[in-house]
C-alpha cells in the first residue's frame, strides 16, 4: 500500500447525527473520508462542509455495498470501515411486519457483513486495517418493542468477534461501539414529541424517560461517540479487537 497516501476511511450513515460526527472527526484526524447515506441531498451538503467525499447509496439494494467500497478505494487505499447506518422503529411482537424486520436486519447487520466482505482485500493490504460497528447499549441488553433493532445490534457483536478472529493475522481489528441515547436529530425529535404528548418540558423528558436507567444523567453528544471511534481506528488501538466498547452512561452496569 502506498505510504505517501493519507489513510482512507469509509463511513456509512454519514449524513447526520453520529455518522456525520464520525466523518468530521476522521477528517480532522487526517483521513481521506468517503461518507455514504441514503439521504443524498443532505449527505452531499454535509460531506462537503466536513471536507469529505459523498457517495449516495441505499445499502439494502443489491450491489450497493460493493459499489460503495469500490468508490471508497478509488483514491488508492482503504484503511478504516465504520458502519453507522441504521434507524429505530417500534416493533412489538407479534405485530411487527415481516418486511420491516427484513429491512432493518438488511441495513444494520447484512450490510455491515457485505461491506466487510468487499472491503476485506483492501483492509488486509493496509498496515492499519480497522473496522468499527456503531452498535448501541442494545447490543448488550434489550428493551420491549425493539425486537428487530435489538436483534440487529446484538448481531453486530457476533459479526465483530468473528471478524476479529479472522482478521488478526492480517493486522485487521474489528470492534463495536455501544452508545446510550445520543443527542442526534432523531432523538431530539423524539424528545420534543414526548414533551408535547406528556405535557412536560424537554429537559424533564430527558431526565424521566431517556436517562431514567443510567448512572450519568446527561445525554451523549455525537462527538462523544466519534471520539471513541477515532481511537479505535488509530494506530494506537492495534491490540484492541473483538470487543464491545460501552459509552452508555452506566446503562449496562446493572
pLDDT tens per residue across span 100-133 = 999 999 999 999 999 999 999 999 999 999 999 9
Calculate the average pLDDT of the chain. Answer: 95
pLDDT tens-digit profile of 66-82?
999 999 999 899 999 99
Residue 132 lies in a domain: yes
Claim to verify: residue 105 and residue 133 sit in the same structural domain: yes
Mark whether 42 and 144 lie in a shared domain: yes
Beta strand residue intervals within 38-96, DSSP E: 53-56, 80-83
C-alpha distances (whole Å) from 45 to each of 68, 70, 77, 84, 243 are: 18, 22, 24, 18, 34
- Three-class SS of residue 169? helix
Q: Among 25-34, 42-51, 192-201, 216-225, name the one with the lowest average pLDDT.
A: 192-201
Residue 42 lies in domain:
8-181+221-246
Q: Rounded to an integer, what distance in angstroms lies between the CA atom of residue 193 and that of residue 9? A: 35
In a domain, 253, yes or no: no
Coil, strand, or helix at residue 135?
coil
Any residues with CB less than 8 A from the CB of 95 and at least 6 apart, and which? none
Specify whether 170 is located in the same domain as 240. yes
Question: Does residue 207 sit in the same domain as residue 107?
Answer: no
> Which of 87, 149, 181, 231 is flagged as catalytic?
149
Mean pLDDT of 17-35: 98
Q: Give CA–CA dist 70/143, Å, rounded.
A: 37
Percent of the chain with pLDDT over 70: 98
The residue-averaged pLDDT of 203-221 equals 93
Convert the pLDDT of each residue in 82-103 to its tens digit.
999 999 887 888 888 899 999 9
Same domain, 105 and 142: yes
Read off the pLDDT band of 2 (50, 70, 90): very low
Answering whether pTM is above 0.85, one says yes
Q: Indicate whether 214 and 227 sit together in one domain.
A: no
Q: Looking at the 3D structure of the chain, how many domains does it have?
A: 2
176 belongs to a structural domain:
yes
Active site includes 149? yes
**What is the DSSP-derived secondary structure letter of residue 82?**
E
Q: Is residue 60 part of a domain?
A: yes
Are 192 and 164 members of one domain?
no
Classify residue 139: in a domain, yes or no: yes
Query: What confidence tier does 1 reach under pLDDT thresholds 50, 70, 90?
Result: very low
Tell whether 97 and 60 lie within a shared domain.
yes
Q: Give the CATH number for residue 28.
A: 3.40.50.720
Residues 149 and 171 grouped into a single domain = yes
Query: 16 and 137: one domain?
Result: yes
> Is 175 a member of any domain?
yes
Please say if the pLDDT value at position 55 is more than 50.
yes
Does residue 252 fall inside a structural domain?
no
* 251 lies in some domain: no
**Shared domain check, 237 and 165:** yes
* pLDDT value of residue 3: 55
* Same domain, yes or no: 21 and 124: yes
pLDDT at 91: 81
Mean pLDDT to the nearest integer, 202-206: 92
Amino acid at each position: 500500500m502506498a505510504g505517501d497516501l493519507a489513510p482512507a476511511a469509509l463511513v456509512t450513515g454519514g449524513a447526520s447525527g453520529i455518522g456525520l460526527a464520525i466523518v468530521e472527526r476522521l477528517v480532522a484526524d487526517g483521513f481521506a473520508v468517503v461518507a455514504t447515506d441514503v439521504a443524498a441531498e443532505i449527505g452531499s451538503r454535509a460531506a462537503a462542509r466536513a471536507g469529505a467525499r459523498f457517495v449516495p447509496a441505499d445499502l439494502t439494494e443489491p450491489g450497493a455495498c460493493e459499489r460503495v467500497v469500490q468508490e471508497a478505494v478509488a483514491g488508492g487505499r482503504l484503511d478504516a470501515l465504520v458502519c453507522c447506518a441504521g434507524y429505530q422503529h417500534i416493533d412489538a411482537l407479534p405485530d411487527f411486519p415481516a418486511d420491516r424486520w427484513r429491512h432493518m436486519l438488511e441495513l444494520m447487520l447484512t450490510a455491515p457483513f457485505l461491506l466487510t466482505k468487499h472491503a476485506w482485500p483492501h483492509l488486509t493490504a493496509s498496515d492499519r486495517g480497522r473496522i468499527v460497528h456503531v452498535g448501541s447499549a442494545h447490543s448488550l441488553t434489550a428493551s420491549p418493542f425493539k425486537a428487530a433493532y435489538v436483534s440487529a445490534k446484538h448481531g453486530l457483536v457476533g459479526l465483530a468477534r468473528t471478524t476479529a478472529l479472522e482478521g488478526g493475522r492480517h493486522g485487521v481489528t474489528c470492534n463495536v461501539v455501544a452508545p446510550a441515547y445520543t443527542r442526534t436529530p432523531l432523538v431530539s425529535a423524539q424528545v420534543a414529541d414526548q414533551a408535547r404528548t406528556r405535557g412536560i418540558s424537554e429537559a424533564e423528558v430527558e431526565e424521566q424517560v431517556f436517562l431514567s436507567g443510567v448512572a450519568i444523567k446527561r445525554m451523549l453528544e455525537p462527538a462523544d461517540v466519534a471520539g471513541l471511534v477515532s481511537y479505535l481506528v488509530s494506530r494506537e488501538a492495534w491490540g484492541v479487537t473483538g470487543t464491545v466498547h460501552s459509552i452508555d452512561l452506566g446503562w449496562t452496569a446493572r
